[in-house]
Amino acid sequence: SSDVCSSDLQILNKDYSAAQSTLEAVKAPNATTYYMMAVVAARTNNEQAVYAKPRQAAALDASIKDRAAIDKEFANYNVANL
């Protein structure tokens, strides 16, 4: 969706607050939306969301677990057991 694309640009520009707002405004969040929320959480040291958002994503797309386990965004977190 265009909202997720907007959040990608905001994340690249390190505008994490705007990215979070954009993602939270998505009317029908999907696995990618939740995954991007987890990326924002990792970059802003929001440990609770780092674990919660990938779980929500994995509930919609089980392959997210494998992706998160190797994603460098989560290198400082133990997300292997989502």
- Grade residue 4 by pLDDT with cuts at 50, 70 and 90: low
pTM for the complete prediction?
0.86
Of 10-24, 32-46, 60-74, give the lowest mean pLDDT range.
Answer: 10-24
Q: Write the Ramachandran bin of 14: left for phi over 0, alpha for psi from -120 to 50, otherwise beta.
A: left
Number of Cα atoms under 13 Å in the Cβ half of residue 35: 20
Distance of CA 11 to the CA centre of its chain: 11
